[in-house]
Amino acid sequence: MQQNRVAIVTGGASGIGKETAFKFASKGDRVVVADFNVAGGQAVAEQIMANGGKAIFVKTDVSKYEDVEALVEKAVDTYGRIDVMFNNAGIGRVTPVLDQNLNDYHNVIQVNQHGVAYGIIAAGKKMRELGIKGVIINTASVFGFLASPGTFAYHASKGAVIMMTKSAALEMADWGIRVIAVAPGAVDTPIIQGYKDKGMVDSMKSKVMGNKLTLPEQVADTVYLLTLDEASAINGSVVMADEGYAS
Ligand code: NAI
């Protein structure tokens, strides 16, 4: 087992990111919790420390490259290295394609697509500079493959995450850096708890085997497994963490 790793988790204040931060910490990794939700992110870092782990919180808006670059610098200044970059922060907006506010469209692309691109670039550059054979994991979605009404921009952003992952993996293999996408299906987190159309949540649930929502802890477990050396053959792949989400 690799020791003394440092893992950055974006969107670490809530849902999948929060549970993944706890998972890494429970395995002895030092965790850098990044989010623009200051209270939530600080609470996660404090809980890790209260349990005897090591963590810091860094306020970060992933849609700004300078924030993501500063996040990576802060991680290295604090802990001396980064082994894992989990580009997970994301947002969803539900509106029919022809009725949507273009600001919403741009925001979804800015956070879900550009935020992941910035994380890949900033962390990849630092890993290459420091000679670290790290792992970059990007949160995609079954919606990167499957269409559903009302989520036009979200599909575009998650499809982009999948192809950015494959493209970056191809080049970063030269430095021993793996880049992987994880694709959850319907996960019980605030992003879908906030859907006003509860019928949409029921419909998503019915597509998961066992008619249930996946727990964020289950996705966190998958992410953790992908970061291990034992997963070294997994690279440039989209790993489904969707409990069989059907179209
Ligand atoms: P969540 O809403 O619980 O967590 C998202 C986190 O991202 C929040 O803490 C939020 O403050 C943060 N965030 C949003 N915009 C940000 C920005 N510009 N900069 C920094 N932080 C920002 O939702 P959840 O479900 O944990 O989402 C995590 C990822 O999983 C997202 O990329 C989402 O698209 C993806 N996903 C979620 C699914 C679900 O059913 N919940 C299914 C498939 C993918």
Please check whether residue 243 lies inside any domain of the structure: no
Average pLDDT over residues 220-230: 98
Please check whether residue 79 lies inside any domain of the structure: yes
Structural domain including 219 reads 6-238
Please check whether residue 244 lies inside any domain of the structure: no
* 3 state SS of 44: helix
Q: What is the CATH number of the domain that holds 11?
A: 3.40.50.720
Please check whether residue 118 lies inside any domain of the structure: yes
Pocket flag, ligand 1, residue 187 (CB < 6 Å): yes
ipTM of the complex: 0.99
Global pTM value: 0.98
What local confidence, expressed as pLDDT, does residue 1 receive?
55
Catalytic residue among 79, 105, 154, 245: 154
Q: What is the tens place of the pLDDT at every residue in 135-149? A: 999 999 999 999 999
Split at pLDDT 50, 70, 90, the class of 247 is confident
Please check whether residue 234 lies inside any domain of the structure: yes
Q: What is the tens place of the pLDDT at every residue in 41-74? A: 999 999 999 999 999 999 999 999 999 999 999 9
Please check whether residue 62 lies inside any domain of the structure: yes
Is the Cα torsion angle 96, 99, 103, 105 positive or negative in sign?
positive
Please check whether residue 42 lies inside any domain of the structure: yes
Ligand 1 atom closest to Cα of residue 194: 2
What local confidence, expressed as pLDDT, does residue 213 receive?
96
Question: Ligand 1 centroid vs 174 CA: distance in angstroms?
Answer: 30
What local confidence, expressed as pLDDT, does residue 194 receive?
85
What local confidence, expressed as pLDDT, does residue 197 receive?
83
Instruction: Reply yes or no on whether the pLDDT at 3 is more than 90.
Output: no
Please check whether residue 173 lies inside any domain of the structure: yes
Overall number of domains in the chain: 1
Average pLDDT over residues 84-105: 96
φ, ψ (nearest 5 deg) of residue 73: -60, -45
Query: Is 105 tagged catalytic?
Result: no
Question: Ligand 1 centroid vs 171 CA: distance in angstroms?
Answer: 27
Pocket flag, ligand 1, residue 13 (CB < 6 Å): yes
- The pairs formed by 213-217 with CB atoms below 8 angstroms and a separation of 24 or more are 213/186, 213/187, 213/188, 214/184, 214/185, 214/186, 214/187, 214/188, 214/241, 214/242, 214/243, 215/19, 215/187, 215/188, 216/15, 216/16, 216/18, 216/19, 216/187, 216/188, 216/189, 217/19, 217/23
Instruction: Reply yes or no on whether the pLDDT at 6 is more than 90.
Output: yes
Pocket flag, ligand 1, residue 16 (CB < 6 Å): yes
Is the Cα torsion angle 246, 207, 152, 12 positive or negative in sign?
negative
What local confidence, expressed as pLDDT, does residue 27 receive?
97
